A and B are shown apart, each in its own frame.
Chain A
Amino acid sequence: MSERGRDLRIYLPVYAIVLAVYIFAGWRSASFFTWNNNVNLFGRVTPLILAGLAQTVVILTGGIDLSVGSMISVASVTAASLPYVDTPANLVLWTLIPPLAGLAMGAVNGLLIAKWPFPPFIVTLASSSVYLGLALYILREPGGEVSLDATLVSSGKIQGIPIPLLLMLAAVAAAHLLLSRTRIGRSIYALGGNETLAIQSGIRPDRVKFFVYSLSGLFSGLAGAYLSAWMFAGDPLVGEPYVMNSIAVAVIGGSSLMGGRGGVLGVVGGAYIFYLINNILNLLGINAFYQYIAKGAILIAALAVSAPDLLQRLGLGRRGSE
């Protein structure tokens, strides 16, 4: 089996499900296939994709980042607190500061996890609380303002192509290139595959961990900035659902929570599946509590499908016998 074959095995089911869900949605709702609806859909899925990228790079090392949601919130309220008069200088500020805030928060996580033997679960759970407090300190309730130029990020077009689409493609491509073609990318997989051996191979786990948690912060910062552009405002609680959703997207996208296996190419599909199923449940007029139950069930189903060893143990899958 070639590497391409292996990628296919991971990503094909994801995109097959996307297609199935997509067709189902179109069948239920006549307006679903319209260009406008899809552009709109894209605008809504993009932050989920960014959060999924943030979570995936961490999960590949065998870690987890529970502070993704709070970092998104901080970036969102930061973006909405910046000067909003439309000047080029302000646009630059808006473009740089929220992602950098995310990067800084991620770097703190990374430093704690790299330098001390604390489990990432606990460190990011704690920092998540700190960052949430920070978001609420900056902005007590949803509000603030975002410059009109900045909102173009979520609603503008270049040559007729929606900017969110370009942004998302650029982020996924960069992350994929990083993981598959660079030394640090390989080190991420090695660390997730077997930490002891990674150290013996001359890889420095502290550097890799610092790197992935910082990168997770950066992607979360981008997601937060994007959300503020989408809403024309900041919201200190906007990131909350992204903790679980980002984990779901990473796992549905084919990455293993044990680390070492997966990648970012499935994240787009994972985000689409997750968002569309929500959307369909809404369209069908299903009660909110059923939606929560459905979301949890989808996550568990995704875990089962993404863990071939589990299926083997249950006697459902073929044995890996090549």
Chain B
Amino acid sequence: MNPEAETAGTPVLEMFGVDKAFAGNPVVRQVDFSCRAGEIHGLVGENGAGKSTLMKILAGVHRPDAGRIILNGREVGFRNYGEAREAGVCVVYQELSLLPQMSVAENIFMGRWRRGRSGLVDWSGIRREAGLALEKVGLGGLDVNRLVSSLPMAARQLIEVAKALLYEPRAVVFDEPTTTLTGEEAARLFGLMRELKSQGKGIIFISHRLKEILEACDRITVMKDGERVVTGPAADFTENRLIYHMIGRDLTQIFPPKPKRLPDRIVFSCSAPAPGGEKIELSLREGEVLGIGGLNGQGQVPFLETLFGLGPGAEISVRGVRRRVKSPREAMRAGVTLIPEDRNGQSSFPILSIRNNISSASLARLSVAGFLETWREKREVRKIAEALQIRMTSPAQEVRFLSGGNVQKTVFARWLLADPKAMVLLSPTSGIDVGTKQQIYRLIRELAAGGVAIIVLTGDMVELIGLCDRVLVMYGGRVGGELSGSELTEENIMRISVGRAGGEGAA
């Protein structure tokens, strides 16, 4: 590798007219993208804007339907990540690719076992080289025999970088590397990125923290709905301008206004065992929307499911009536519904009609002595479908023929028809377009105003801050902290998410 040969400013990497669709849904559309040698190029966009897919195409994980990729002036067509890595494109993923039960050295050399003269793995050579690789990322002195599981997240992230650098890449993609890091740790990572930049490498940096993007990057590209919206020097952007490009309008317009003052009346409270051991108690006031945040897998989903009678069940009180719920049926009888996250259509009956989908949770209410009153079913389904503006040819249409946003509306319709007094929503807007999101936010606010207790789990910071009156951030199966009003900021949520509630380090 000869860094001098690469003059800063020439593109290391270019993509032209890249298209990619999954099952007929375009996720990347006609995207041009380039990264120069000695540049940190920021890539931002909402969840589902196509950033990760674009990077996966670059790294050979997905093959593009159309378009060209040029690396160092040569057109390439990677068939898998291995090929991309050998050619000089490396990705440092947010979800780490390290095996926790193996040592640092084993992880760094995973899949590239050097063999000695005997034909066996040359362990001493691997340990030595692993040590050198760690020095390059500022982890010199770390024992390469330690298990990855014993190291804090920040160190793991750097090991991941060390592993990537072993391939002497021309371009390195950092896919949300700072999500799990504190400000200090992230700053260290940025130092490393700058060093790689000074070596003439092209760095692509994906993050949801816009402040970081603005500070660390030379140029920024914004994506929205699979398309590239704008590319320009970082100096031309502000946080608000980035958000404007990301969602196509100002942030204030997408969320309905929050109530200035909430009445003191408690409409819902519960006490449920949390995965972290102790019980979580919470109560909601009339009109309140409670957000549940935190990194993935901190026990949010199991905890919220107990409110719906799954797992160990919970002690709940709906408008003053206390009871214990141990099954979804009991929860529904108590007026609690849970809208599960839509994973591959798991939250609907794809082959049943829209009408049957919507009425399926209200069969008891719609029947007399076991017989359905179909006229009543038809009337109520039509009413709610109109209220939610579900676009369909007829209520007899099968749900699998609807678009994602409309499917999600039928899911809402099902649980609304069941006349809930409290709703638990798991990632209610994941994977749907901004327009539908906006409708759903408004609906959530209207329901809350109508006295329905609303608990929303979401991994989307913008949503937590824009939609919720109060946010509980979970960490390690417990409530790490509670935020509301002016404390409700990305920094605070993140700080609690990584277990630094009081400012003192946990790791």
Contacts and interface: CB of A to CB of B under 8 A. Distances in A.
Interface residues of B, number: 35
A186 B363 contact: yes
Interface stretch (B159-167, B230-238, B285-293, B352-360): B352-360
Nearest to A204: B329
B401 A321 contact: yes
Contacts, number: 90
B352 A189 contact: yes
Of A1, A184, A185, A200, most buried by chain B (CB within 10 Å of CB) is A200
B363 A194 contact: no
Contacts of A3: 353, 355, 396
B157 interface: no
Interface in B474-492: none
B393 A1 contact: yes
Nearest to A198: B360
Contact of B351 (A187, A198, A200, A260): A260
Which of A2, A197, A322 has the largest count of B CB atoms less than 10 A from its CB?
A: A197
B374 interface: yes
Contacts of A1: 393-394, 396-397
Interface string B387-408: 0000001101110110000000
B431 interface: no
A184 B329 contact: no
A6 to B, nearest CB: 6
Contact of B356 (A190, A199, A321): A190
A203 B347 CA distance: 15
B342 to A, nearest CB: 11
Given A182-B371, A183-B372, A200-B338, A190 B394 contact: no
Nearest to A6: B396
Given A182-B371, A189-B356, A202 B397 contact: no
A181 B372 contact: yes
Interface residues of A, number: 31
Contacts of B338: 200
A94 to B, nearest CB: 30
A88 interface: no
Contacts of B401: 320-322
A200 to B, nearest CB: 5
Nearest to A184: B370
B259 to A, nearest CB: 30
Contacts of A321: 401
A5 interface: yes
Given A202-B328, A202-B361, A183 B371 contact: yes
A34 interface: no
A196 interface: yes
Contacts of B328: 199-202
Contacts of A190: 349, 352, 356, 360
B364 A202 contact: yes
A63 to B, nearest CB: 16
B361 to A, nearest CB: 4
B12 interface: no
Residue of A183, A203, A260 with most chain B CB atoms under a 10 A cut-off: A183
A187 B363 contact: yes
A209 interface: no
A254 to B, nearest CB: 13
A215 to B, nearest CB: 14
B348 A197 contact: yes
Nearest to A201: B361
Given A1-B393, A193-B351, A186 B346 contact: no
Contacts of A189: 349, 352, 356
B414 interface: yes
A182 B368 CA distance: 9
A78 B167 CA distance: 77
Contacts of B353: 3, 6
Contacts of B372: 181-183, 185-186
A184 B355 CA distance: 16
Interface in A141-197: 181-187, 189-190, 193-194, 196-197
B170 to A, nearest CB: 41
B341 to A, nearest CB: 12
B363 A197 contact: no
Contacts of B350: 193-194
A202 to B, nearest CB: 5
B296 interface: no
Contacts of B414: 201
Given A3-B396, A186-B356, 6 more contacts: A186-B363, A190-B352, A190-B360, A260-B349, A260-B351, A320-B400
Interface of A: 1-3, 5-6, 181-187, 189-190, 193-194, 196-204, 256, 260-261, 320-322
28 contacts: A2-B394, A3-B396, A5-B396, A6-B353, A6-B398, A181-B372, A182-B370, A183-B364, A186-B359, A186-B363, A186-B372, A187-B363, A189-B349, A189-B352, A189-B356, A190-B352, A190-B356, A193-B349, A193-B351, A194-B350, A197-B349, A199-B328, A201-B328, A201-B414, A202-B329, A260-B349, A260-B351, A322-B401
